[in-house]
Structure 1
């Protein structure tokens, strides 16, 4: 099946508007790329992992850091702010695994590094990525597929 968001044009328009809002949040593009990639890795969404790596490289990210996103806790290549965003992405993505969802500790760490607009952009990126992940895995979109 074609991706449902492509079948229903108003869905695509809505997604584009969310992307526009994320871009206006002031959140660092690298951080947004990292949370997108990490959520996609967790959800096993090969098209989003593929697209996330490609987009991150295009925007100046390094191979070395991208290879370590899945093990970011054990890497010294990420800033404290990026670590807070990655932890938030994991907690918000693994809802079924985490009965308290986003703990106060996780939230406070993110809020220490990002203002409300930036945090809103990061949260919207995480949520939108989870939407893409669910659409792509449901219709079994292959790695390399693009919208």
Structure 2
């Protein structure tokens, strides 16, 4: 698959500045990096963004994530590899990504489970990071940005 155009975020200089600020804000609130990596990967899987799935899995692996856990992210409910906090963050990421799938997009039980594990500032960071991931996914899917080819 070939991209339809250069990634829009690269064409508009102020966009990259804003993205960098969102990234910095989400990653400086105290949420473990592994959780931010997992929610990014899961939202990207749901949205079918090959570029973000590829970069997310590679980034997670570079930061110490195991193959077993990465392979199981799509089936996190059934896998035994994830903590209760990670499960709560993944459920929140799924709900916030699939907004149109139900009349109450983020039900209280999903929110309450996440709030049990994360203080408000960290919840804000997770919500912001999931929204930013969905932003990336929509840019990439719309313009058909492919995952890079890796050889060897």
TM-score by length of 1: 0.97
The DSSP-based 3-state class of the residue aligned with 1:52 is: helix
Structure 2 alignment gaps of length 5 or more: none
Q: For residue 23 of structure 1, report the CA deviation from its aligned partner.
A: 1.6
Distance 1:92 1:48 in 2: 17
Distance 1:120 1:144 in 2: 31
Q: 1:77 aligns with which of 78, 81, 84?
A: 81
Q: For residue 99 of structure 1, report the CA deviation from its aligned partner.
A: 1.6
Instruction: Tell me the alpha carbon deviations over residues 28-85 of structure 1, each in whole angstroms, 9 at most, x when there is no partner.
Output: 1000000000000000000000000000000000000000000000011000000000
Q: Which residue of 2 aligns with 1:28?
A: 32
Q: For residue 98 of structure 1, report the CA deviation from its aligned partner.
A: 2.0
Distance 1:28 1:111 in 2: 15
Q: Which residue of 2 aligns with 1:96?
A: 100
**Are the aligned partners of 1:72 and 1:78 in contact in 2 as well (CA < 8 Å)?**
yes
The DSSP-based 3-state class of the residue aligned with 2:77 is: helix
Structure 1 alignment gaps of length 5 or more: none
1:57 equivalent in alignment to 2:79: no
Q: Which residue of 2 aligns with 1:139?
A: 143
TM-score by length of 2: 0.94
